[in-house]
């Protein structure tokens, strides 16, 4: 949000400067002690070139009477600019930035749950999903949260038994962080609960940021010469970071004993 405010201030400042330059140009034209005829091309109304034709240098027969002492007429032909105005580019960038902020705000209420069993009967599917999520939140994560919507993403693929991701729209966006912070509780739960994955609803760009961060952690681990330490990603988006931890190699034979 702070970045958006900063961009808005810059755009306002630049627009003000552009208006000032335009006003100065008008004043300069008004100070010229000669008549100016502006001929507009049909192509557009952009910055003029200020060219003076030979005919105009010799004098224009259509000049009003009494103006002969003020010199020759100047014909300023406006030509269409091939490059967009800087202010328009900034406005477009600001509009895109606002759209991104609005989209991020909407996503801040959402959670995506993967690997939840999907029943075949369409009429029973939503009831099953709601019961599963309510049990997950209340019994296993021990959080009392309410959600507005719950639905499956994408079109069902009949060729696979894998369930589609579940999208949950919470009533309060603060509840998302509470749920994500309590996910470690599922490590001690039954198998079907340990298999599920709960994540924030991230945009493509945000998912790419996470992918690059995970890849960076892998690269750092590979650069460890002794193999005694590994680098892993911790936290939840956007507060994610890489930590260095000791690599513990378990002895499988000892565990079997």
Please tell me whether residues 195 and 210 are part of one structural domain: no
Q: Are residues 183 and 210 in the same domain?
A: no
Domains contained in the chain, number:
3
Residue 138 sits in a domain of what CATH number?
A: 3.30.70.1820
- 34-54: average pLDDT: 46
CA 179/CA 145 separation, integer angstroms: 9
160 or 26: whose pLDDT is higher? 160
Q: What is the mean pLDDT of residues 140-167?
A: 90
Structure pTM? 0.56
Average pLDDT, the chain: 77
* Same domain as 113, residue 85: no
CA distances from 191 to 2, 165, 182, 187, 222 (A): 44, 18, 17, 9, 32
Average pLDDT, stretch 3-25? 65
Same domain, 113 and 95: no
Domain shared by 186 and 242, yes or no: no
Asked whether residue 11 carries a pLDDT value surpassing 70, the answer given is: no
Q: Provide mean pLDDT across the span 5-19.
A: 66
Q: Do residues 8 and 94 both lie within one domain? A: yes
Two structure tokens written together for 60:
């224009």
Q: In what order do the strands lie in the sheet with 110-114?
A: 147-152, 166-170, 110-114, 197-200
Q: 172-222: per-residue pLDDT in tens?
A: 999 999 999 999 999 888 888 989 999 999 888 888 999 999 999 999 999
Domain boundary among 201, 228, 245: 201
200 touches 118 (CB < 8 A): no
pLDDT digits (tens, 9 = 90+) for 65-84: 544 444 444 455 555 555 56
- Under the banding of pLDDT at 50, 70 and 90, the label for residue 253 is very low
- Parent domain of 169: 108-201
- Shared-domain flag, residues 196 and 210: no
Are 131 and 163 part of one and the same domain? yes
């Amino acid at each position: 949000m702070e970045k958006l405010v900063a961009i808005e201030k810059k755009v306002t400042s630049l627009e003000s400067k552009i208006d000032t330059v335009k006003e100065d140009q008008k004043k300069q034209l008004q100070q010229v002690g000669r008549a100016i005829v502006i001929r507009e091309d049909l192509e557009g109304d952009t910055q003029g070139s200020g060219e003076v034709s030979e005919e105009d240098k010799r004098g224009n027969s259509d000049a009003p009477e009494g103006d002969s002492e003020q010199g020759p007429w100047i014909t300023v032909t406006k030509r269409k600019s091939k490059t967009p105005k800087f202010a328009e580019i900034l406005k477009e960038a600001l509009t895109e930035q606002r759209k991104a902020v609005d989209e991020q705000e909407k996503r801040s209420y959402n959670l995506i749950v993967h690997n939840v069993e999907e029943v075949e009967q369409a009429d029973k599917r939503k009831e099953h999903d709601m019961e599963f999520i309510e049990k997950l939140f209340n019994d296993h994560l021990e959080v009392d949260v309410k959600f507005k919507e719950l639905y499956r993403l994408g079109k069902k693929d009949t060729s696979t038994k894998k369930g589609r991701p579940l999208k949950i729209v919470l009533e309060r966006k603060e509840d998302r962080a509470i749920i994500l912070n309590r996910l470690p509780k599922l490590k001690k739960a039954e198998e079907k609960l340990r298999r599920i994955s709960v994540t924030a609803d991230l945009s493509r760009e945000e998912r790419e940021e996470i992918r690059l961060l995970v890849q960076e952690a892998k690269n750092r681990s590979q650069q460890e010469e002794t193999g005694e330490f590994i680098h892993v990603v911790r936290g939840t988006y956007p507060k994610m970071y890489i930590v260095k931890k000791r690599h513990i190699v378990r002895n499988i034979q000892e565990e079997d004993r």
